[in-house]
Chain A
Amino acid sequence: DAKTTQPNSMESNEEEPVHLPCNHSTISGTDYIHWYRQLPSQGPEYVIHGLTSNVNNRMASLAIAEDRKSSTLILHRATLRDAAVYYCILSLTQGGSEKLVFGKGTKLTVNP
């Protein structure tokens, strides 16, 4: 299975940008990079995904290294509601279905 490595935890201040790193050195050419986040006692929520090019949406930006062995999720202005566990996931296709296998994620704390 393609695996990802993330820091266990990170801390940020409100209104400041946050850069959440992810290493995926064994990524294959067809693996998409997905980011999800999970608030306590809730199901995960989609944040963003990409393949090769950097991506932007209303929630965040995703910067993908040229060799695709790492990526960074960027929250441009952290708010208290962004405090969550952020998961970087490589989609895995087996048996015709594309499934998401979660790693340990990064717990983001946002200080007021």
Chain B
Amino acid sequence: GAVVSQHPSRVICKSGTSVKIECRSLDFQATTMFWYRQFPKQSLMLMATSNEGSKATYEQGVEKDKFLINHASLTLSTLTVTSAHPEDSSFYICSARQGAEAFFGQGTRLTVV
């Protein structure tokens, strides 16, 4: 089946720095990808829809200047957490759809210290 790969799987960064997370569709093209965030013992929260070649669409309450999304090719979307703070520590997950089925990356656990 289709595979979506995320990198890195874990990252620890200092408060105030920026972190980039990559999401790749390995064997299919994805004009749209989705970014989610998940806090411990909570459900996934949709942050934004990443559109190839155009601006991302952010969900209400998600700061677009803090969570920069770039979807420069049909197989790669990146999420950059800018000026990270400890409250940004979370599990970030991307997904891409192929037909009716969504494929999810393995997630990136971000810890801001």
Contact = CB atoms under 8 A, between A and B. Distances in A.
Contacts of A45: 104
Contacts of A100: 34, 46, 95, 102
Chain B interface size band reads 20 to 34
Contact of B46 (A34, A102, A104, A105): A102
Contacts of B106: 42-43
A102 B43 CA distance: 7
Contacts of A34: 100, 102
B77 interface: no
Nearest to B109: A41
Contacts of A44: 44, 93, 95, 102, 104
Among B34, B36, B44, B103, residue most surrounded by chain A Cβ atoms (within 10 Å): B44
Given A41-B91, A100-B102, 19 more contacts: A38-B44, A42-B106, A43-B4, A43-B6, A43-B93, A43-B105, A43-B107, A44-B104, A46-B101, A46-B102, A49-B101, A87-B43, A97-B57, A99-B34, A99-B49, A100-B46, A102-B36, A102-B43, A105-B43
Interface of B: 4, 6, 32, 34, 36, 43-46, 49, 51, 57, 91, 93, 95, 97, 100-107, 109
